[in-house]
Amino acid sequence: MNLGFIGLGAMGRPMALHLQAAGHTLHVWARNPASAADLPATVHATPTALGAACEVVFTMVTSSADVEEVALGAAGLMHGMAAGSLVVDCSTIAPAAARHIASRLGERGIDMLDAPVSGGPQGAAAATLAIMVGGTAAALARARPLLEKLGQRIVHVGPQGAGQVAKACNQIIMVAAIEAVAEALRLAGAAGVDVGKVWQALSGGAAASRVLEVMGRRMVEGDFAAGIEARLHHKDFGLALEAARQSGAPLLLAASVAQQLNALMALGLGKNDTAALLRVLETK
């Protein structure tokens, strides 16, 4: 197939390469042309031009506004893609934005799936992402063979926007767990106990988790180089809280964690890993 990919960052680039390695012809557009310079792909001048060349286009960009501009803007995909083609958005954006973009594309006969992913750059590189899909069953059936090149768990959550709701839920649980690990290790340090030994002990008990294993190790070692930049989790929590406001769901713990993420950003740590939530506690 002729496949398009927009968003060649830490996760998008390996995802695009997996699709190309599966035998598909890769087409790309990049806001920063240097990010596409050495890819085995045809580089297009605009999303419109890319869309005209492709049957399916994947997007993996930062914000709701970015997806809307790429899909619906003056040089957007909608002006080039044919009726019956498909957009698969793997970004993390607002559920309402996903529904709006899908509706506008649908007016042109273009299908859309909101298919946010979880697993970070490591999961993208290993093609082990968890993929949460919103959209029609028919669109997912078309996209599934492609998504299977990117991840190991693909769940059809519901109609358009449902994938983004699931991703918001994922972020709440994960980042709240990171905050819990930071608070536990801060308590250990403040009490004069060997933080590394506490982490080792917890890792063998009922508190054991992937978050404790990975983020706890980072905190113990003082390694805050970004796996996923904390600013992205800060953005995601804003989306989750807005979705909660719209639906009337009380998110008490998430609201508290959001304040810690606000503090992290105020300290200028947004480009650090989210494990830097420990550093926020150390400033108090």
Phi, psi of 85 (to 5 degrees): -85, 175
* Both tokens assigned to 42: 């045809």
Given a contact cutoff of 8 angstroms between Cβ atoms, the answer to whether 188 and 216 are in contact is: no
Burial (CB count <10 Å: 0-12, 13-18, 19+), residue 31: middle
> Scanning the structure block, which residue is given the tokens 């506008």?
104
Residues 241, 237: Cα–Cα separation, whole Å = 6
Given a contact cutoff of 8 angstroms between Cβ atoms, the answer to whether 150 and 18 are in contact is: yes
Among the options 167, 197, 271, 284, which is catalytic? 167
Task: Give the residue from 122, 66, 126 showing the smallest Cα distance to 90.
Answer: 66
* Both tokens assigned to 223: 């390694």
Task: Give the residue from 55, 50, 58, 219 showing the smallest Cα distance to 124.
Answer: 58
Residues 258, 260: Cα–Cα separation, whole Å = 5
Residues 243, 169: Cα–Cα separation, whole Å = 10
Residues 16, 162: Cα–Cα separation, whole Å = 24
| Amino acid making up residue 196 | G
Given a contact cutoff of 8 angstroms between Cβ atoms, the answer to whether 275 and 224 are in contact is: yes
167 is catalytic: yes
Alpha helices per DSSP H over 107-229: 120-126, 137-147, 162-190, 195-202, 210-221
> Scanning the structure block, which residue is given the tokens 């958005």?
89
Active-site residue set: 167
